[in-house]
Amino acid sequence: MVDRSAIRMIAITAALLAAGVAAQAFDETKYPNWKGQWVALDGNENSPWDPMRPAGAGQQAPLTAEYQAIFESNLRDLASGAQGADPTRRCIPAALPRVMMAIRPMEIVVTPRETYFMLEQFSTLRRVYTDGRKFPDDFETSFVGYSIGEWQDTDGDGHFDALVIETRGIKGPHTYDASGIPFHKDGEAIVKERLFADKTNPNILHNEVTTIDHALTRPWTVTRSYRRAEQPQWSEFTCSEDPNYVQIGDQGYKLSPEGLLMPLRSGQQAPDLRYFK
């Protein structure tokens, strides 16, 4: 019996060898080796979107007057102790482009038709289609949007070295960073990215991110960079809402040490309890 099986397996082996590796082989050598675990060069949950500039107003985001006023109001709100406009404080995922700060690790998985960005923060999954498709006429918006990418061989050495991505259909609420720099409410932002490895260090990846949005007076380009971990360890991200805060309708409240509701600001009214008898 073993002999018969062995003979059958040898026949199969011969057939596979005859077919060669051409069948449905995915030639990874055409693509850059971005395997492993990538994490932001520096920063944390409160880091600014543009790592080259100070947080808050120091970011010099090219906001329209209307959205600059919204941003300044948000900064005052934060200064008063409120949560501000940052939706991640309520465990709403960091949308694109903010999630690409990668303050927690990310993995990039390349397949011929799609490239996946698996981000630990909020367990976010980005699916970037590289199969040559066009943007569909109609698609459901999401926090990561709908992304189409194209691999490029910029130095002509026969291997792809850059991934160019365009993302549309990004859902709100979302902000660029914890300071609450706002996007336009129309949800029409377009985010263009260009990912490429550092020319001198293959363990550094750069992402040139350009955002085009009606809340901006011009496209805003920021470069985020990531380093590859030598010994990757993955953690599970479980968003924990602020245990001292609760949102009821459009009002936020503090919770006292014993868990009782407290006003967040002077003169704030108690929640309406009309549905209790």
Partner 1 sequence: MPHRIAIGLFALVAAFGMTIAGTHAFDDSLYPDWSGGWMRMGSGNFDPSKPRGMGQQAPLTQEYRAIFEASLADQDEGGQGSNPGYRCRPHGMPRIMIAIHHMLFVTLPETTYVLREVGTQLRRIYTDGRDWPANPQPATTGYSIGKWIDDEGEGRYDTLLVETRGLKGGSSYDSSGLPMHKDGGAIIKERIRLDKANPNVLHDEITTIDNALTRPWTVTRSYTRNRNPSWVEYNCSEDNHHVVIAKEDYILREDGLLMPVRKGQKPPDLRHFQQR
The residue ranges that bind partner 1 (CB under 8 A) are: 1-2, 5-6, 8-10, 12-13, 15-17, 20-21, 23-29, 90-93, 109, 111, 116, 118, 122-125, 127, 140, 142-144, 171, 233-236, 238-239, 241, 246-250, 255-256, 258-263, 268-276
- Please identify, using beta-carbon distances, which residue of 63 and 170 lies nearer to partner 1: 170
Nearer to partner 1, 123 or 223 (CB): 123
> Alpha-carbon distance 4 to 22, whole Å?
28
Q: How many residues does the chain have?
A: 277
DSSP conformation class of 234: -
Complex with partner 1: residue 200 or 233, whichever CB lies closer: 233
Q: Least Å distance between CB 69 and partner 1?
A: 25
The CB-of-231 to partner 1 minimum distance in angstroms stands at 11
Lateral strand order in the sheet of 251-255: 245-248, 251-255, 261-262
| Distance in Å, CB of 73 to partner 1, minimum | 21
Distance CA 63, CA 161 (A): 33
Closest separation in Å from C-beta 22 to partner 1: 8
Question: In terms of CB distance, is 53 or 171 closer to partner 1?
Answer: 171
Return the CA Rg of the chain: 24
Whichever of 26 and 58 has its CB closer to partner 1, that residue is 26
Q: To the nearest whole angstrom, how small is the minimum distance from the Cβ of residue 198 to partner 1?
A: 22
How big is the CA angle at 46 (ends 209 and 261), to the nearest 5 degrees?
A: 130
Residue-by-residue DSSP string for 110-151: E-SSEEEEEETGGGEEEEEE-SSPPPPSS---BSS-EEEEEE
Residues 6+ apart with CB under 8 A from 272: none
* Least distance from partner 1 to the Cβ atom of residue 79, Å: 23
Residue 96 neighbours by CB under 8 Å, 6+ apart: 126, 143, 144, 145, 147, 167, 170, 174, 191
CB of 45 to partner 1, least distance (A): 16
Name which of 22 and 65 has its Cβ closer to partner 1. Answer: 22
- Looking at the Cβ atoms of 6 and 79, the one nearer to partner 1 is 6
Phi-psi region of 184 (alpha: psi -120 to 50; beta: other; left: phi over 0): beta
Half-sphere exposure of 73 (CA within 13 A, CB side): 8
